[in-house]
Structure 1
Amino acid sequence: MNPSLFEFGRRVLREQPFSVLLGTTLEVFEPGRAVLALRVRDELKQQHGFVHGGVVGYLADNALTYAGGSVLGDSVTSEYKINYLRPALGERLLARAEVLSSGKRQAVCRCEVFAAIDGEERLVAVAQGTIIKAEPKG
């Protein structure tokens, strides 16, 4: 793992107020790949006790953008699609994203979101998105 890339990724995450609010952590950030994690707490659940789909979607979206940004530089999500496979029940969520294809201005990425409980992981959602290089401000 490239330590300077990883530290850059951690800094970016600290600059995202919503990610800080949720308590998201960066586990892996290397060219073409990213893993984000989130500890599950009651405030993130819906009325049935599952992690809210919006939280699962946020985690997938951010992991997709991290993966794309690892090859493009500063990036944003152009679009993404998510399939929820089962309720997100567990102690922790992990979003593992990878670049499927990239060019100079965009990358297509895939993400799998897992819920972990007692050391076991269950796949709860899959997502795919297009990530684009951010336009310079000004």
Structure 2
Amino acid sequence: MDISEETKSRLLQNLSSPFDGNLLGVKVADAERGKIIIEVEPKEEFTNGLGIIHGGVTASLCDTAMGGAAMTLGIIPVTVEMKINYISPAGTDNKLVGVGKVVKEGRTLIFAEGEIYYKDKLVAQSLGTYIVKNPNMSSK
């Protein structure tokens, strides 16, 4: 990880929140400034009536990946808006991998992109805008 120990600690703490950490089981696989890779072992409870991962779970993972990428900058991001494109379905027999990247870092807004993969296949792409809630903590 190419980020400060304080940022790494805050990142892991924030991504281990009751929603992400306990419900979805998000784990940080790798992180550097402006980028993060997360992993989730999907559960049957994550599926819809068709037996594929529910779009809401995929959207949550996109938001978590993009927000996590923003957190690597040493700030606390809050989602302002998000867009997602669902590209292909995912099942529960392999982990889901989320990649979040900061596209543009501003003083008040962060723009990020996210991708979710299942068996090396692109499942979803997203774009998000995040407001910086603690600009004094920014590492800029």
Instruction: Tell me the TM-score normalized by structure 2.
Output: 0.86
Q: Is residue 32 from structure 1 mapped to residue 34 from structure 2 by the alignment?
A: yes
**Counterpart position of 1:134:** 133
**Counterpart position of 2:15:** 13
- Maintained 8 Å contact 1:69/1:133: no
**Counterpart position of 2:138:** none
1:135 offset after TM fit, Å?
5.8
Q: Is residue 111 from structure 1 mapped to residue 110 from structure 2 by the alignment?
A: no
The residue identity in structure 2 corresponding to 1:104 is: R
The structure carrying a bigger strand percent of its residues is 1
Please give the secondary structure, in 2, of the residue aligned with 1:51.
coil
Distance 2:108 2:117 in 1: 29
1:89-133, Cα deviation, whole Å (9 max, x unpaired): 2411111011111111111111111012xxxx1001000011111
Distance 1:65 1:84 in 2: 19
Please give the secondary structure, in 1, of the residue aligned with 2:73.
helix
1:32-84, Cα deviation, whole Å (9 max, x unpaired): 00111110111111111101100000000111111122225011111110000
The residue identity in structure 2 corresponding to 1:18 is: F
Q: Please provide the CA RMSD for this pair.
A: 1.7
What is the total number of aligned residue pairs between the two structures? Answer: 131
Distance 2:15 2:74 in 1: 17
**Counterpart position of 1:52:** 54
**Counterpart position of 2:69:** 67
Distance 1:27 1:106 in 2: 25
**Counterpart position of 1:23:** 25
**Counterpart position of 1:87:** 89
- Maintained 8 Å contact 2:103/2:113: yes
Please give the secondary structure, in 1, of the residue aligned with 2:15.
helix
- List gaps (5 residues or longer) in structure 2: 136-140
- Maintained 8 Å contact 1:72/1:106: no
- Maintained 8 Å contact 1:6/1:30: no
